[in-house]
Amino acid sequence: MSKIVFAEVRPWEQEYVKLHSGSWAGDIIFSESIVSKDNFSIPEDTVILSVFVNSIISREVIDRLPKLKLVVTRSTGYDHVDVKACQEKGISVSYVPSYGENTVAEFAFALILSLSRKIYQSFDQIRESGSFSVSSLQGFDLKGKTLGVVGTGRIGQHSIRMAKGFDMEVAAYDTHPNEELSKNLDFTYWPLEEVLKKSDIVTLHVPYLPETHHLMNERTLRLMKKGSILINTSRGGVVDTSALVEVLKDGHLGGAGLDVLEEEGVIKDELSFLKHGHPEEHNLKTILAGHILIDMPNVIITPHNAFNTQEALQRILNTTIENISGFNLGSPVNVIQPH
């Protein structure tokens, strides 16, 4: 059986892998350290190496592992692995294509419901004043409203299914419309401008790319229906914060639910928060202390927590175990293909 090294694994992850890895459990070496050319402490006869995003699997590292056959990253992103160098040496690289599509979509709806039914204000009113008056807490039904879904990848698709469960209409935008999906889930694709104009609530599920930077800006935010709500659980840079503040201050938008902020910068991988804390936490505390958004009663800000459930974290390990098991059986899965 192959020698397998799991790097960057916490104690609970080690126990989970031991419990679920089956026949190859006895061949695993665990380490909480990262792997890099300057921090190389794994056996040179390693055949399978599983890492997280803080390890840098460079050509120098690969050259020091002559028996290496598989690199398994426990993440969706894989820019910390020199895939080209691996492929040149016949080393496969596998990854976790997805782990939190329903998880993030559920959180998006938690933000929607918190705003549509004024849940936080209701709780805060009772806690702060003891008042059970509902005179200022009137919300609105989701049934019959239109949800604009910007991005219909895995998370966007779950959001659409959930919207249908609430008996909502769905208007969707994607740079690559999936007509079969629209037929199966009974929704319509529109240009972005039309989605914004039609929707009572807009939820963003796009990656952060140069072309999505400030996708929601002064112009596009003002295309949204007056009194509508914006939800962002994708990346902070998709929304121009200054423009958002203005459209909220003048009452054009009815509210916003933000699990991500532009001030976070580019986030490499959410899971690294759990190990090392938020990379911008200190700066964010300072920014938020004087941030007008934090004091707006129709704005909810959460600490980039949409991905964070026990089941999502277990799915990452389950997929990693499947990747290794498939490779050992000669049927590799989730392998990054050469470009």
End-to-end C-alpha distance for the chain, whole angstroms? 31
Residues 6+ apart with CB under 8 A from 134: none
264 catalytic per annotation? yes
User: Is 4-99+311-328's fold the same as 101-306's?
Assistant: yes
The yes/no answer on whether domain 4-99+311-328 falls in CATH 3.40.50.720 is yes
pLDDT digits (tens, 9 = 90+) for 104-160: 999 999 999 999 999 988 888 888 899 898 988 899 999 999 999 999 999 999 999
158 catalytic per annotation? no
Read off φ and ψ for residue 30, nearest 5 degrees: -105, 145
Catalytic residue among 80, 264, 270, 315: 264
Give the separation between CA 9 and CA 101, rounded to whole angstroms. Answer: 23
304 catalytic per annotation? yes
Mean confidence (pLDDT) of the chain: 90
Give the separation between CA 51 and CA 4, rounded to whole angstroms. Answer: 11
pLDDT digits (tens, 9 = 90+) for 295-333: 899 999 998 899 889 999 899 999 999 999 999 999 999
Q: The domain at 101-306 falls in which architecture?
A: 3-Layer(aba) Sandwich (3.40)
pTM of the model: 0.82
Backbone φ/ψ region at 167: left (φ over 0), alpha (ψ -120 to 50), beta: left
Catalytic residue among 74, 158, 205, 304: 304
Distance of CA 139 to the CA centre of its chain: 28
Domain boundaries, the chain: 4-99+311-328, 101-306
Catalytic residue among 235, 262, 270, 315: 235
